[in-house]
Chain A
Amino acid sequence: MKTEQAVAQATTSMTMIQALRSAMDVMMERDDNVVVFGQDVGYFGGVFRCTEGLQQKYGKSRVFDTPISEGGIVGAAIGMGAYGLRPVVEIQFADYFYPACDQIVSEAARLRYRSVNQFTAPLTIRMPCGGGIYGGQTHSQSPEAMFTHVCGLRTVMPSNPYDAKGLLISAIENDDPVIFLEPKRLYNGPFDGHHDQPVVPWSKHPMGQVPDGYYKIPLDSASVYRQGSDVTVLAYGTMVFVSEAAANETGIDAEIIDLRSIWPLDLDTIVKSVKKTGRCVVVHEATRTSGFGAELVSLVQEHCFHHLEAPIERVTGWDTPYPHAQEWAYFPGPQRVGEAFKRTMEA
């Protein structure tokens, strides 16, 4: 599962936060056009500490705090990109990207197209997403489908430290605008949805072993996180581990595909797996209607219809704002995912 480039290197046990920081560090070292900015990312090192120490190392011209203005952060990044820099910006929570919508949708995503490559927006826009921290409706959202609906954006969501670093390096080097969603519930360990149990740290998980230097994970490749023969599970972010827990608890031999790059998508890996298992369950934390799951279900039926032995199931967040106190009734945990596995096996 790890690339050749990565296997040859010394590794360190890292949390996802440390892996993301390491990716930025490696890229700032290699390319002095890389700049990092956002709210609280400078002196303080970010509210989740992802940029800790970077200002000290690279100076205030390359790592700095910004005013609280998401539109300003993305708009300024587009201008810097037009000059030739490679900005890596942080939106403090994905729930706060909305004031930057115009700059992302109308500007960054279409700059290359409308100027026929004269100007590009080689930005990476990092944002922590997802719930599970009692963050209520403004610190819990998973807005990936809003980005996949926009032509010209790449949307990525890693599920572990190893992928996070390799994908972030690819995102920074990529000349298209990349929306880099970080499931905040995975920052410190592979959370599987059992919120009443202690968190397993990344140091106890193989994907927490991260190469110290430069390596890349391509932006269009999914990974088969768990091999299986009964049902194909399409998941990303936190739902990879929730699905793994559901497979272990139901005894259903699920093949879990971690999409990693949500769009553009590694369709080949998906189609190959569904043709093998004949069954498919799509899992995401975001709300159901017009969620990215709808796109996945369409693609699977377009490409695998004659191989399907059961209707494709979707397990998602409910179509409500993310509630605060009822967080765990909202969150699609292992029980709901396991029930979908059973339904698809019985169909």
Chain B
Amino acid sequence: MSEYPPLRLHVPEPTGRPGKATDFSYLHVSKAGEVRRPPIDVSPPDTHDLAFALIRVLDEDGKAVGPWAPDIDKETLRHGMRSMLKTRVYDSRMLIAQRQKKMSFYMQSLGEEAIGTAHSLALKDGDMCFPTYRQQSLLITRNVPLVDMICQLLSNARDPLKGRQLPVMYSVKEAGFFSISGNLATQFIQAVGWGMASAIKGDTKIASAWIGDGATAEADFDTALTFAHVYRAPVILNVVNNQWAISTFQAIAGGEDTTFAARGAGCGIASLRVDGNDFLAVYAASKWAAERARSNLGPTLIEWVTYRAGPHSTSDDPSKYRPADDWTCFPLGDPIARLKKHMIGLGIWSEQEHEDTQKELEAEVMAAQKEAEQYGTLSSGYSPSAADMFDDVYKEMPEHLRRQRQQLGV
């Protein structure tokens, strides 16, 4: 007999499940304005406390408070608001189109619009984002034509990706948006490599890497941190912690009693944990990290704390594993409502303008959808030709593929 009691396996469990409300105290929310803002040349070990705090700018009344309150002009705020609204309208329209079987699949970014939008505004043209499948706001903020995006979703004759990729797996090089892979975490280390290349060539561009809380469990995440630290790569390492990886809670990915930002700190990388539903905090932290990268001070890891308000994808049903009203209880609220309050407080926005903009964007998205559908939908039979399937496997088509294409008779 051992002198010790039997060991037990610990398996993390969320506090909330269908019919049982979530206790969000695990988030450890800091008060707006209370977290310090160090200079950009801070030594990475001196950011340790920032990896556990939560940087927030907007207070309960919608006022920008504290050292992280950014210097941001009226036009940028309006662009940000418009882009967030447009992303939300776009998502809801595309969701309906998927239900109508015009596309095979869709993924919304509901509740997470501030992150890609404000981050995009903090970057410069020429910087390269290596996104996941929930950063459509990066494209929308950069004014990528909606018709092109919708044609990709519809897998139609004008699909820029020739029907090869699942809907939402965009690739828009000219907008600084790297090709999305369906495999998780692979792009995180690639972003570090892109940043290293910029340094090798003496360029001034930086890379922005994206990953979700769930995918940080993949080895590519740790590899990216190691390379970014070793080579002081000019890269922003964004971890979008939206609390859920399909059905598994963020603690299953390693978030219990620690933070994802702490992973960066542990690797010697300057790391911040930021309220991802606070447009101003996202903008300020992104600017800080971009300045560091561009000033040859190396990588910054930012954990954006947010909430995946919708299902993982159109193939998912979250009512089976989390409380139905979870999002409405999430302490960091709705990013659009929070920025709206701030802008109205500044006197640069109003309820009326909000409503008008919403209507105008709905019309814009609907018009783009109508135009895109003229080139076909997945179900209408105007899909890209089968012959296209054989292109681009190699730069020049080898003989065996030419023969296979012939055999298919296209």
Contacts and interface: CB of A to CB of B under 8 A. Distances in A.
A43 interface: yes
A64 B252 CA distance: 10
A66 interface: yes
A43 B164 contact: no
Given A61-B9, A138-B181, A320-B401, 13 more contacts: A68-B184, A68-B218, A69-B217, A71-B219, A99-B219, A136-B164, A136-B165, A136-B166, A137-B166, A319-B401, A324-B164, A326-B386, A329-B408
Contact of A42 (B11, B166, B320, B393): B11
A312 to B, nearest CB: 16
Contacts of B357: none
B104 interface: yes
Contacts of A329: 386, 389, 408, 410
A319 B321 contact: no
A205 B268 CA distance: 60
Interface string B382-393: 011110111001
Contacts of A64: 9, 11
Interface of A is mostly: loop
Given A319-B393, A324-B163, A96 B183 contact: yes
Interface stretch (B23-31, B63-71, B78-86, B240-248): B240-248
Contacts of B185: 68
B252 A66 contact: yes
A64 B390 CA distance: 42
B215 interface: yes
Given A39-B248, A330-B389, A137 B165 contact: yes
A67 B104 contact: no
A12 to B, nearest CB: 24
A289 interface: yes
Given A136-B169, A318-B408, A325 B9 contact: no
B404 A323 contact: no
Given A318-B389, A326-B163, A69 B404 contact: no
A47 B183 contact: no
Given A326-B384, A329-B386, A65 B11 contact: yes
Contacts of A68: 184-185, 214-215, 217-218, 245, 248, 253
Interface string B120-135: 0000000000000000
Interface residues of A, number: 39
B219 A325 contact: no
Contacts of B254: 67
Interface string B288-329: 000000000000000000000000000110001100000000
Interface string B254-268: 100000000000000
B248 A65 contact: yes
Nearest to B252: A65
B182 A138 contact: yes
B321 A325 contact: no
A99 B218 contact: yes
A246 to B, nearest CB: 16
Contact of A325 (B11, B155, B246): B155
Interface string B175-210: 000000111110000000000000000000000000
Contact of B404 (A60, A67, A71, A319): A319
B166 A44 contact: no
Most buried by A among B9, B105, B185, B252: B252
A99 B253 CA distance: 16
B383 A325 contact: yes
Nearest to A138: B182
